[in-house]
Chain A
Amino acid sequence: MGRYVARRLLLTIPVLLGASILIFAMVFALPGDPIRALGGDRPLSPAVVEVLKERFHLNDPLWIQYWEYLKGLLRGDLGTDFRGRPVLDTIERTLPVTVRLTIVAVLFETIIGIIAGVLAGIRRNSYFDNLVLVSTTIIVSIPILVLAFIAQLLFGLKLGWFPIAGTRDGWFSYVLPGLVLASGSLAYVARLTRTSIAENMRADYVRTARAKGLPRSRVIIRHTLRNSLIPVVTFIGADIGALLGGAIVTETVFNLPGIGREVFDSISSQEGAVVVGIVTLMVFFFIFFNLVVDILYAILDPRIRYD
């Protein structure tokens, strides 16, 4: 197992390199001139433009620009944006917001999703089961943008339960955006748990558990739920990686300064170094949490071995 993890971690290096090259090339290919755009309505003098272009290697070909970037990276320097602010500082400022949002969203999808799925799964075709089926279908069908505005209007303005924008109220500010961000995954987790439970209730080993004279609660928790949660845990793990990539829509609507919104702004202003730095970090999160899922999988299901 240890060797497997080491090999997988080593493999992330070429993946990250490849990803950064791709992102670098895509930013390079963007139309427009980021330096001229810096001036806004008042054009910068050609001399200033020339100096800035020289400083950020913008006149060099792609591979030289990338090489300069890589040299900086090896020294732990992610570069600066065109205003001279280090990219590392930008990440330190925006990442905690996204991490908090992710934690709140994952808590919602795990707790509500699993409980709803279990209750629906052990009583198939019951009133509650149908409620879960209908409500999850509705949630999945509504675009997240619409859902975000509905949540703001209903829980923020009409009922006044939660703050609707910004991060001034600490963790409390994240409840509404977290719920909106989690909604799709929450519906998926509920459905997945429901199907998995309903399927396992018919499994031969659950019949054995009942033939052993175990109490019903034990049959459900130890012999049905334990096995049914394997695919659910796998999904949630991979979802954490995706959520840490930032949610552009949610962060924008709720005015949360997280990395999703930051990367969106940076693409608009063609801040190459910021985009490459943050997106490469997102790729790393994604790979890392996929590795965590694979390890968890082996822990939860003894039939899976990686040696």
Chain B
Amino acid sequence: MTQSQIDPTPKPATTGATLLEVDDLHVEFRQRSGVVNAVNGVSYTLAEGETLAILGESGSGKSVSAQAIMGILDVPPAVVRGSIRFEGRDMLTMSEEDQRQIRGPGISMIFQDALSSLNPVYSVGWQIGEMFRVHQGASRKEAKAKAIELMDRVRIPAAAKRVNDYPHQFSGGMRQRVMIAMAIALDPRILIADEPTTALDVTVQAQVMDLLKDLQRETGMGLILITHDLGVVNEVADSVAVMYAGRIVERGTVDDVFTDAGHPYTEGLMNSVPQVEAKGGRLQPIVGQPPNLAAIPSGCPFHPRCARRRLGAEAAPGRDCATDLPPLRLVAPGREAACHYSEEVLGV
């Protein structure tokens, strides 16, 4: 794994040219009951060969922001604002057709539940081969041969025999490999993996993550890993962005963030995970529930659940957690956090 060097600017670690720049991304769903603000101003960049983990609870906007990048938020219809630049071109202003042509060869995505994400009525070979038939005009025969090649590459045993099998005939881990084969078929520059291992057994999880890392080493693609699994982040990611209520609340290298959290929410996440050293001790869950995205709390969205909040007279001027929204700011070299009192959280 490439250990990235951090410069003190807000830009995350880079190991190559910048592939993706997401700037002030907003996503809202207009429903009869009101507007749901799923993503509220998310910015990040991704470089060649970099692995960025986006960490957060369900409903934090991590999956929605990824689907906005893919441009597949039609059902239900969403309003997407901000800018998403892939290799310098803004995907939100380009035509639907140009956007479609980036999906697959430019950016591709794998999903959490491979069983429901693969079409049950087509063989896996047909579904992998479809990438070549549609994007490269390959014949059925060529597409099938390439599908077998890819299945070999993602280490599905007896690929040539299994190419005509259907998704339900595979185990969970093998199905996820089929998804990966389909996603890397056209050598994408960026792979977005949305909870790729959540539905799998722990042992299979490790195999699938190893496979993703190997593929990344071979192709130099940028990897965005969306997960709520701190263990996975710790093992494979270079940098991490923690999301809460549709915002990035903390960002930095994995080593830094995991060693010393700069935001009370990140701190809470770390404390809610069992530690081998703390055997016998009680876990400390984060109290309360994630916010309703149709009615996000004023000020810092996390303040109703925050143990370190300062309200009214306790707060420094302009830094009342209940009324003043903390911006994402540089709090230490290579570290950004959106907390008025981040320095206290870091203990510097």
Interface residue ranges, A against B (CB under 8 Å): 201-215, 218, 223, 226-227, 230, 300-303
Contact = CB atoms under 8 A, between A and B. Distances in A.
A215 B121 contact: no
Given A201-B75, A301-B121, A210 B103 contact: yes
A207 B66 CA distance: 13
A205 B130 CA distance: 14
A297 to B, nearest CB: 12
A204 B117 contact: yes
29 contacts: A203-B116, A204-B117, A205-B116, A206-B75, A207-B75, A207-B117, A208-B111, A208-B117, A208-B118, A208-B119, A210-B74, A211-B72, A211-B108, A212-B104, A213-B101, A213-B102, A213-B105, A213-B108, A213-B134, A213-B135, A215-B100, A215-B134, A223-B119, A227-B121, A301-B120, A302-B123, A302-B166, A303-B120, A303-B168
A303 B105 CA distance: 31
B121 A226 contact: yes
B182 interface: yes
B179 to A, nearest CB: 8
B144 to A, nearest CB: 17
Given A218-B134, A303-B166, A303-B168, A211 B120 contact: no
B113 interface: yes
B72 A227 contact: no
B70 interface: yes
Q: Which 9 A-B pairs have the closest CB atoms?
A: A213-B103, A213-B104, A204-B116, A205-B119, A204-B117, A302-B166, A210-B72, A211-B109, A208-B117
A192 B120 CA distance: 20
B131 interface: yes
Interface residues of B, number: 30
Contacts of B67: 207
A215 B135 CA distance: 10
B336 to A, nearest CB: 29
Contacts of A205: 116-120
A274 B186 CA distance: 67
A211 B179 CA distance: 11
Interface of B: 67, 70, 72, 74-75, 100-105, 108-109, 111, 113, 116-121, 123, 130-131, 134-135, 166, 168, 179, 182
A227 B119 contact: yes
B117 to A, nearest CB: 4
A249 B152 CA distance: 62
Contacts of A210: 70, 72, 74, 103
A70 to B, nearest CB: 45
Nearest to B109: A211
A217 to B, nearest CB: 11
A203 B72 CA distance: 13
Contacts of B134: 212-215, 218
B72 A207 contact: yes
Contacts of B116: 203-205
A3 B120 CA distance: 25
A201 B111 CA distance: 17
B106 to A, nearest CB: 8
B111 A207 contact: yes
A207 B192 CA distance: 14
> Counting chain B CB atoms within 10 Å of each CB, which of A203, A210, A227 scores highest?
A210
Given A207-B72, A303-B166, A303-B168, A214 B130 contact: yes
A182 to B, nearest CB: 28
> Counting chain A CB atoms within 10 Å of each CB, which of B120, B166, B179 scores highest?
B120
